């Protein structure tokens, strides 16, 4: 038996017989070779040693390819003799021949000793070409490589046709590096070889490499044909290289290949995918002949733009031209209908699919599911979905997303569960959709289970899914969990940073928003509109106007200053940071003002002091512009009416709410109750409250606080008890109303009970406002020792509100010592607030300490503090009339003073005596009386009585507290005129009726 030579002997034979290095071309690691990589084809004078062939180590080549026919090869020995391998039989020689040719015997191939085997070269080349073509069609890369190794070892010199077949084979199988190496070894490269190589790169999605190869071909002086141009145009479409595509278009026109339908279709496709539908139209309609491909390209372009009407119009023209359309055509038309939400057009295409019998095709059914889902008909989409025999993961994802967007969250979860039970593996889109659904459901446990499910399928590193998870945790308030996912991401895009920022809009962590925004800029990412909206919301919450202005500068830098959404966020930020003057300029720059923008600016003015009239003006301007208000706009405008106590505008908005059908909305109902309450119409507020079907905590709070403000404290406490009986959970605002009612009624012990129940029964931590209410309860009762003890043992640091409450109680009871202490604290907290100085001055004046009064006034002057003048206003005939104390500017001044004199005379006759102790000025008593007679609320009352000859309720609003003498005066007037008088001062409402006040004189 013949033994295998050792590698050393094999290497010796290679050296002696000049073994060509070509045999080593397929070594897996070419860098380990002791010599440079040989060219792919060096076969013109190829000779082999059979011994060498049996001994050379191919570095696993033989293992990889296991050439079945290596034993059937004929080799030429170095000495010129010819030898057939020992295992070759006459039947195995048929390897070299086509199957249809006549079989030849062993003797026909062997010329005897010293003879030469004559092979038919053309047949061999043809055989290999067919093999490579078959391997390309069947994508058999390994088999094709084996054939390639065969003809290299047999020294076959390929012609151009075989080169092209080999390039095509490698290109079709995705082995583009091998295809390029074969191409580089071609002695002569013609347009066919270039086209085959270019098409290989384009087919693999490497459009840019295809374009570069075309440029290289042109530099070599090779002229393209129509197939080359069509292929390169397709590559341009892939990379959206419109400019190079236009240059190719010029070459098409120059080369007179425009008449070719493939080139024309490729041009239409290029312009359509680049969004240049004008050019696509022109090319399409000047083509000598259109085919289905060109029609589909044009249809797809309009579908991508979301122009469903144009897609349907083109489809009609296509059918009129009797052009046969495929399922792909119908799917494209349905995609256009889905993009533009053109339900009617989609239904027309659906009927066409039914008519021609393709509606049961899964491809069409999936497109119908997508169309109906995006047209907000999730139930119709579900009916189509049920007819799909084997829906793929895209169709499942579309259906789940459709249910999610329609608010059918639980149904979306059930469908996702069905998809899992079907054995289908989810993709990143289905998982991101179910994460969004879980986010909206708001169940942390379910959200965490979805996260675990994602980890099970190894999608936690997918950027789309990770972004959805970050958003989920941020919306749940689990900021740390969201940050953990963000930190673990290998790659982060703008969406990732935006998702992270979304967790820092509100709450204590909102101050981290600017730091994250800075870090994002440091990382080199360019913020988009959503980034700016997020960071502006963070600035608005944290009242960080300084950083907000820097963000505004970045917005200009990124050319987003005219973006309507960003502009709306800027308006909101400036309003909340108390910079209303900057708002109007931004608002005027907005090109389109939708309902959201109008709502933001109306709400901003409504929440800004003394800007309620601007809010109402904006609402009227919005109505004139044809923008229909929603429930949030209406609620904001009603709150503006509450702020300025504009009952006439409130009535108009109430009627508009009824007319528009928003009266049943809980937000509108709450705003109406609040408006009527703050305009002194608690009866109307009661009516709205009782007619509302769904009453939430906010609405209960509005009623409780409203009754408390109106001095109807028993009703306030009764509403609180009813609220608890209906199992409605109270919140912090509820207890402010309850404690205020206790304060007005002097219920100290009940106040303590409610204060302690907050934390003991309902888990509510008392805020500064609740502590201030408790101080007020004790202070109104004159229990100042308990007040000081309570403040000393407070768990939170006393602020200005606490000491203002103390000072107000000291004014009522004349406690100078504690009043001075409270005033000194207030001078430190709020040195520019005039009411603090006035209250202390009034305490001194009540005790006739005029030197101290002068000292306080001098202190005010030295600090530049000016006293806010007392004013009152009343609404008559839908116009607001404002009066200052001792006012002499009103056009009906004589009538007003005449009416006041009449009222005073009638009151004097029934025993009214002016109480000059409320005229806190060091002047004679006669002058004190004169000052009292012309207080602003009396002037407003006189004007209302002069103007309102029919009688009825008079509503007056005052910016300061009503004085004690005016309080008695109003009681008397209500009795002698039989008018109900409602006065809202800075503290609460006074309802004067039949000589009595709702505050039970505990004002």
What confidence score (pLDDT) does residue 105 get?
Answer: 36
Report the C-alpha dihedral over residues 801, 806, 810, 813, rounded to 10 degrees.
110
Distance CA 191, CA 213 (A): 12
Contact 764, 735 (CB under 8 A): yes
Strand order in the sheet with 879-884: 879-884, 871-876, 954-958, 981-984, 989-993, 996-997
Predicted confidence (pLDDT) at residue 93 exceeds the cutoff of 50: no
Q: How confident is the model at residue 817 (pLDDT cuts 50, 70, 90)?
A: very high
If you average pLDDT over residues 414-420, what whole number do you get? Answer: 89
18, pLDDT greater than 50: no
Using DSSP, state whether 493 is helix, strand or coil: coil
Q: How far apart are CA 641 and CA 672, in angstroms?
A: 10
Please name the residues in contact with 311: beta carbons below 8 A apart, sequence gap of 6 or more.
Answer: 299, 302, 303, 332, 333, 336, 337, 340, 345
CA dihedral 463, 465, 468, 469 (to 10 degrees): -100
* Burial annotation 351-367 (CB, 10 A radius, 16+ → b, else e): ebbeeeebbeeeebbbb
- CB atoms under 10 Å from CB of 99, counted, come to 7
**What pLDDT was estimated at residue 88?**
33
State the first-to-last Cα distance of the chain, in angstroms, to the nearest integer.
Answer: 126
Q: Residue 503 carries which DSSP code?
A: G
pLDDT, tens digit, 9 for 90 and up, residues 427-438: 888 899 899 999
Give pLDDT, residue 174.
Answer: 85
Dmax (CA) for the chain in angstroms is 156
586-605 residue pLDDT tens = 888 888 888 999 999 999 99
In whole angstroms, give the CA distance from residue 67 to residue 83. Answer: 19
> How many residues does the structure list for the chain?
1003
**Residue closest to 890 by CA, chosen among 848, 936, 854:** 936
CA distances to 362, 434, 464, 482, 562 from 430, rounded to whole Å, are: 19, 6, 11, 20, 35
CB 587 within 8 A of CB 567: yes
Confidence grade of residue 741 (pLDDT, cut at 50, 70, 90): very high
**Per-residue model confidence (pLDDT) at position 742:** 93
If you search the block for the tokens 């005027």, which residue do you land on? 588
On whether the CB atoms of residues 874 and 947 are closer than 8 A, the answer is: no
What pLDDT was estimated at residue 638? 94
Q: Which pLDDT value is given to residue 949? A: 57
pLDDT, tens only, 435-455: 999 988 888 999 999 999 899
Cα separations (Å) of 421 from 418, 424, 496? 5, 8, 31
Using DSSP's 3-state secondary structure scheme, residue 549 falls into: helix
Helix then strand then coil, in percent of the chain rounded to 5, is 65, 5, 30
Q: Are strands 82-83 and 75-76 parallel, antiparallel or unpaired?
A: antiparallel
pLDDT band at 783 (very low <50, low <70, confident <90, very high): very high
Decide if pLDDT at 620 tops 70: yes
pLDDT-wise least confident of 199-208, 298-307, 427-436, 747-756? 298-307
- What is the percent of the chain with per-residue pLDDT over 90, rounded to a whole number? 24
Give the integer Cα–Cα distance in Å for 635 and 620: 14
Q: What is the mean pLDDT of the chain?
A: 80
Region of poorest pLDDT, from 18-22, 759-763, 791-795, 913-917: 18-22
Three-class secondary structure of residue 879 per DSSP: strand
Query: What average pLDDT does range 67-96 have in this prediction?
Result: 36
Which candidate, 241, 245, 239, places its Cα nearest to that of 205? Answer: 239
Q: Is the dihedral of CA 639, 642, 644, 646 positive or negative?
A: positive
pLDDT at 925: 60
Mean pLDDT calculated for residue range 319-329: 76
* pLDDT of 127 higher than 90: no
Task: Work out the number of other CB atoms within 10 angstroms of the CB of residue 850.
Answer: 13
* H-helix or E-strand spanning residue 774: helix 768-780
Range with the poorest average pLDDT among 255-264, 327-336, 794-803, 901-910: 255-264
In the block, residue with structure tokens 């940073």? 497
Q: What is the pLDDT of residues 673-700, one digit of tens each?
A: 999 998 888 999 999 999 988 888 999 9
Which of the four pLDDT bands, split at 50, 70 and 90, describes residue 924?
A: low
pLDDT the model gives residue 5: 39
Neighbours of 529 (CB within 10 A): 16
Q: How many other CB atoms sit within 10 Å of the CB of residue 488? A: 10
Which of 143-157, 253-267, 323-337, 598-612 is most confident?
598-612
Q: What are the Cα distances from residue 183, in Å, to 67, 456, 520, 594?
A: 24, 46, 46, 60
CA distances from 120 to 102, 124, 257, 349, 581 (A): 13, 6, 40, 60, 94
Q: Could you report the per-residue pLDDT of 335-370, keeping only the tens digit for each? A: 878 877 878 878 888 888 887 777 667 778 888 888
DSSP string across 386-423: TT-SS--HHHHHHHHHHHHHTT-HHHHHHHHHHHHHTT
pLDDT at 915 over 80: no
- Residue 816 confidence (pLDDT): 92
pLDDT, tens digit, for every residue of 544-574?
888 999 999 999 888 888 888 899 999 999 9
For residue 91, is pLDDT > 80?
no
The pLDDT value recorded for residue 927 is 67
In 3D, which of 869, 868, 855, 985 has the Cα closest to residue 922? 855
What is the structure's pLDDT at 319?
A: 76
């Amino acid at each position: 038996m013949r033994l295998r030579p050792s590698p050393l002997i094999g290497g010796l034979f290679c050296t002696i017989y000049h073994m060509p290095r070509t045999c080593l071309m397929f070594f897996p690691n070419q860098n380990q070779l002791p010599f440079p990589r040989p060219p792919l084809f060096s076969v013109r004078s190829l000779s082999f040693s059979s011994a060498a062939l049996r001994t050379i180590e191919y570095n696993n080549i033989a293992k990889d390819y296991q050439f079945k026919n290596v034993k059937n090869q004929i080799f030429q020995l170095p000495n010129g003799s010819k030898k057939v391998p020992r295992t070759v039989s006459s039947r195995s020689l048929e390897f070299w021949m086509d199957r249809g040719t006549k079989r030849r015997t062993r003797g026909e191939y062997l010329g005897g000793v010293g003879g030469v085997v004559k092979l038919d070269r053309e047949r061999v080349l043809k055989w290999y070409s067919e093999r490579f073509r078959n391997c390309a069609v069947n994508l058999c890369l390994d088999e094709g490589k084996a054939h390639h190794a065969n003809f290299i070892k047999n020294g076959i010199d390929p012609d151009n046709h075989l080169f092209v077949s080999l390039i095509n084979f490698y290109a079709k199988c995705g082995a583009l590096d091998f295809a390029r190496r074969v191409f580089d070894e071609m002695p002569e490269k013609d347009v066919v070889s270039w086209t085959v190589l270019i098409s290989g790169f384009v087919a693999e999605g490497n459009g840019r490499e295809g374009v570069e190869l075309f440029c290289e071909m042109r530099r070599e002086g090779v002229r393209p044909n129509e197939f080359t141009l069509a292929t390169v145009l397709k590559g341009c479409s892939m990379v959206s290289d419109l400019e190079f595509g236009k240059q190719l278009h010029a070459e098409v026109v120059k080369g007179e290949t425009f008449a070719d339908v493939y080139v024309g279709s490729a041009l239409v496709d290029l312009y359509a995918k680049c969004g240049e539908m004008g050019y696509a139209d022109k090319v399409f309609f000047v083509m000598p002949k259109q085919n289905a491909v060109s029609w589909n390209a044009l249809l797809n372009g309009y579908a991508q733009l979301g122009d469903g009407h144009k897609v349907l119009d083109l489809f009609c023209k296509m059918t009129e031209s009797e052009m046969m359309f495929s399922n792909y055509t119908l799917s494209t038309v349905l995609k256009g209908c889905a993009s533009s939400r053109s339900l009617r057009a989609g239904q027309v295409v659906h009927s066409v699919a039914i008519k021609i019998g393709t509606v049961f095709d899964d491809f069409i059914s999936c497109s119908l599911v997508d169309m109906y889902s995006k047209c907000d008909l999730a139930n119709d989409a579900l009916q189509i979905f049920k007819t799909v025999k084997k829906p793929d993961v895209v169709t499942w994802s579309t259906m789940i997303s459709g249910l999610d967007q329609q608010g059918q969250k639980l149904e979306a979860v059930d469908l996702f569960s069905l998809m899992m039970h079907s054995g289908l593996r989810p993709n990143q889109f289905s998982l991101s959709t179910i994460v969004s659904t879980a986010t909206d459901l708001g169940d942390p446990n379910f959200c965490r289970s979805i996260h675990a499910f994602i980890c099970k399928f190894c999608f936690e590193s997918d950027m789309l899914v990770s972004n959805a998870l970050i958003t989920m945790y941020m919306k749940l308030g689990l900021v740390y969990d969201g940050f953990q996912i963000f930190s673990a991401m290998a790659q982060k895009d703008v969406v990732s940073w935006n998702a992270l920022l979304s967790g820092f809009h509100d709450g204590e962590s909102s101050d981290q928003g600017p730091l994250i925004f800075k870090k994002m800029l440091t990382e080199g990412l360019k913020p988009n509109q959503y980034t700016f909206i997020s960071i502006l919301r963070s600035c608005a919450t944290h009242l960080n106007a300084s950083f907000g202005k820097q963000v505004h500068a970045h917005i200009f830098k990124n050319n987003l200053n005219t973006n309507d959404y960003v502009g709306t966020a800027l308006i909101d930020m400036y309003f909340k940071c108390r910079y209303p003057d900057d708002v109007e300029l931004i608002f005027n720059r907005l090109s389109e003002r939708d309902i959201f923008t109008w709502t933001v600016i109306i709400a901003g003015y409504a929440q800004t002091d003394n800007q309620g009239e601007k809010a109402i003006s904006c609402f009227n301007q919005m109505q004139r512009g044809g923008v229909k208000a929603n429930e949030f706009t209406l609620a904001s405008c009603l709150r503006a009416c509450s702020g300025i106590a504009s009952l006439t505008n409130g009535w108009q908005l109430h009627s508009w709410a009824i007319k528009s059908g928003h009266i049943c909305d809980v937000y509108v109902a709450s705003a109406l109750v609040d408006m009527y309450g703050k305009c002194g119409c608690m009866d109307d507020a009661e009516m709205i409250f009782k007619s509302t079907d769904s009453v939430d905590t906010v609405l209960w709070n509005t009623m409780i606080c409203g009754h408390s403000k109106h001095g109807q404290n028993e009703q306030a406490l009764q509403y609180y008890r009813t609220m608890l009986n209906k199992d409605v959970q109270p919140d912090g605002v509820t207890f402010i109303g309850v404690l205020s009612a206790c304060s007005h009624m002097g219920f100290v012990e009940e106040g303590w009970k409610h204060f302690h129940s907050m934390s003991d029964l309902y888990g509510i931590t008392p805020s500064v406002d609740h502590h201030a209410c408790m101080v007020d309860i004790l202070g109104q009762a004159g229990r100042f020792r308990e007040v000081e003890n309570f403040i000393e043992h407070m768990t939170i640091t006393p602020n200005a509100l606490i000491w203002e409450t103390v000072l107000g109680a000291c004014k009522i009871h004349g406690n100078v010592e504690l009043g001075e202490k409270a005033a000194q604290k207030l001078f430190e907290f709020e040195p520019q607030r005039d009411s603090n100085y006035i209250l202390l001055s009034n305490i001194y004046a009540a005790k006739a300490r005029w030197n101290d009064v002068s000292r306080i006034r001098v202190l005010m002057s030295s600090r530049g503090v000016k006293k806010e003048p007392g004013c009152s206003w009343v609404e008559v005939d839908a116009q607001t009339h404002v009066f200052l104390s001792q006012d002499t500017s009103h056009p009906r001044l004589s009538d007003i003073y005449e009416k006041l004199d009449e009222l005073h005379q009638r009151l004097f006759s029934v025993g009214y005596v002016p109480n000059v102790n409320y005229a806190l000025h060091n002047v004679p008593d006669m002058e004190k009386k004169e000052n009292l007679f012309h207080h602003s609320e009396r002037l407003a009352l006189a004007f209302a009585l002069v103007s309102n000859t029919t009688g009825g309720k008079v509503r007056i609003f005052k910016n300061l507290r009503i004085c004690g003498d005016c309080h008695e005066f109003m009681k008397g007037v209500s009795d002698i005129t039989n008018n109900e008088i409602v006065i809202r001062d800075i503290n609460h409402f006074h309802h004067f009726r039949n000589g009595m006040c709702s505050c039970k004189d505990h004002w």
